[in-house]
Amino acid sequence: MPEPILNTRGLTAFYKDFQALYGVDLSVDQGEVLAIIGANGAGKSTLLRSIAGLMRNGADQIAFKGQPIGALRADQVAALGIALVPEGRQLFPSLSVEENLLIGGRIKRPGPWSLEAVYKLFPILKERRNQASTSLSGGQQQMVAIGRALMSNPDLILFDEISLGLAPIIIKDIYDALPGIVGGGMSAVIVEQDISKALSVSSRVYCLQEGRVSLEGATGEISREAISRAYFGVE
């Protein structure tokens, strides 16, 4: 078995005195799409933010390609090859579509992703490249956020609630684009409220409940009942 590209071991995370993660053990294999599901407040965003270097975690609690990264800053983690598509997109409102994309490209890593490649994936962004990012629809803004992450040519991409608040047709467009994104061997972690969507694209799934892993397994082998139990904590 090849080494997982990412491991967390006993991962804890705090917001001041509030503990949001309690000893999360997780691994992401090379080239796999992993889904994280769980109710509101379960700790899904905190987990992704921890991996992306946006929380304070123990140095040895997260390893990427065998290297401890838990104490690194977000820019250092990005330079190693992890990109986050954050919840709520968090684009720079005063910048154009293309300027937002180029910000992701400031992290110089070799790979297939460039402005042209992003425009090929989402042609509407090329048409709108000189417009302010705020003038785009929510779905198009999500495409910019994904494109910005891809521009750093990450080996691991983290998606936080990519379909939240988007129209079903746009969600379909974005999910249809996923194979073209991860097909080149990139690994992905997808946090998703829509369990069916999450299961449809992932090979393995972890369920978080109140900051702990309540279920993990291969997508095809986990029953809906087990997911409901792990998700809501009902017996």
Q: Among 5, 6, 28, 43, which residue interacts with ligand ATP (rule: CB under 6 A)? A: 43
Q: Among 2, 15, 220, 221, which residue interacts with ligand ATP (rule: CB under 6 A)? A: 15
Q: Among 5, 6, 11, 20, which residue interacts with ligand ATP (rule: CB under 6 A)? A: 20
* Choice between 48 and 97, CB closer to ligand ATP: 48
Q: Are 38 and 228 in contact (CB under 8 A)?
A: no
Q: Does 38 bind ligand ATP (CB under 6 A)?
A: yes
Show the tokens assigned to 20.
């949001």
CA atoms within 13 A on the CB side of 167: 7
Determine phi and psi for 188, rounding to 5 degrees: -140, 145
Pairing of strands 156-160, 187-191: parallel
Q: Does 89 bind ligand ATP (CB under 6 A)?
A: no
Q: How far apart, in Å, are the Cα atoms of 81 and each of 6, 26, 151?
A: 11, 18, 11
Q: Does 197 bind ligand ATP (CB under 6 A)?
A: no
Nearest to 148 by CA among 100, 190, 184, 93: 100
* Choice between 155 and 161, CB closer to ligand ATP: 161
Q: Does 42 bind ligand ATP (CB under 6 A)?
A: yes
Q: Does 44 bind ligand ATP (CB under 6 A)?
A: yes
Rounded to a whole number of angstroms, the minimum distance from the CB of residue 210 to ligand ATP is: 8
Q: Does 100 bind ligand ATP (CB under 6 A)?
A: no
Q: Are 202 and 219 in contact (CB under 8 A)?
A: yes
Name the strand (E) or helix (H) holding 128.
Answer: none
Which residues of the shown chain bind ligand ATP in the complex (CB under 6 A)?
15, 18, 20, 38, 40-46
